[in-house]
C-alpha cells in the first residue's frame, strides 16, 4: 500500500483515513508493544481511542473509552483487516455521536 490520502465508504458514511505506509509487523518478543492509535474520538468530555498493538499472531486493535475501559478487542492477521476493522469501529462510534 502506498502513502497518500485514502477514504472508504462504510454504509452511508465516508471515512477519511490519514496517510499511512505499509504496516510493518514487529518481531514478537513475548510482550505486546503499543504501535499507536488508528483514531481518537470525543463526546461529552469523554475520549475513545482505537489502539494498535503488536500481537504474536499479527496486530491487536483495542477500542478504549476513557483511560483504560477496554470496550472491544480484535486480533488481526493482515494489514487489510486492521484498516477495515478500524474503519468499521470508527464509523460505528460516529453513528453513536462521537466526533
Instruction: Tell me what pLDDT residue 12 has.
Output: 57
Residue with cell 468530555: 45
- Could you tell me the three cell numbers for 19? 496517510
List, for residues 19-37, the tens digit of each pLDDT value. Answer: 555 666 667 888 999 999 9
Q: Where are the domains of the chain?
A: 6-95
User: Which pTM does this prediction carry?
Assistant: 0.73
Mean pLDDT of 65-94: 95
- Could you tell me the three cell numbers for 88? 468499521
Predicted confidence (pLDDT) at residue 56 exceeds the cutoff of 70: yes
Residue with cell 486493535: 61
Nearest to 65, CA basis, from 42, 82, 83: 42
Amino acid at each position: 500500500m502506498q502513502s497518500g490520502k485514502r477514504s472508504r465508504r462504510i454504509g452511508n458514511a465516508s471515512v477519511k483515513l490519514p496517510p499511512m505506509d505499509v504496516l510493518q509487523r514487529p518481531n514478537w518478543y513475548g510482550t505486546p508493544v503499543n504501535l499507536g492509535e488508528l483514531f481518537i474520538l470525543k463526546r461529552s468530555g469523554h475520549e475513545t481511542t482505537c489502539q494498535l498493538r503488536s500481537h504474536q499472531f499479527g496486530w491487536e486493535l483495542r477500542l478504549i473509552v476513557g483511560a483504560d475501559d477496554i470496550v472491544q478487542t480484535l486480533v488481526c492477521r493482515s494489514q487489510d483487516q486492521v484498516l477495515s476493522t478500524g474503519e468499521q469501529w470508527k464509523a460505528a462510534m460516529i453513528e453513536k455521536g462521537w466526533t
